[in-house]
Amino acid sequence: MTITKIKDMLETLLYYDNSEIIHKIHSENHTFSLSYSKERQAFQLKNNETGNIGNYTDLEDISLTLYNIINANKKEVAEL
């Protein structure tokens, strides 16, 4: 998946901010859930195995993080 497609997906989450939309992303040994919190005005990325949640207010930051997870380029994302 390209960065452009990831950003488009994230912008869709912003557009439907009154809904709960969760994307599940599988990477090597981890599964992540992505949602948007209108209350926090942030994307939330949860590592389903560890329960850790990262909050991202910047579209570029979350796009790059997702790109790295999807393409398994960064092993440290599993520590999220």
Q: Is 68 a residue whose pLDDT tops 60?
A: yes
| Residue spans per domain, the chain | 1-51
Output the average pLDDT for the chain: 81
HSE, CB side, 13 Å, CA atoms: give it for residue 38.
9
Tokens of 17: 């901010």
Whether the Cβ atoms of residue 57 and residue 71 lie closer than 8 Å to each other: no
Q: What pLDDT sits at residue 74?
A: 43
DSSP 79: G
pTM for the complete prediction?
Answer: 0.75
Tens-place pLDDT, residues 27-47: 667 888 888 888 888 999 998
Q: What pLDDT sits at residue 73?
A: 45
Mean of pLDDT values over 39-67: 91
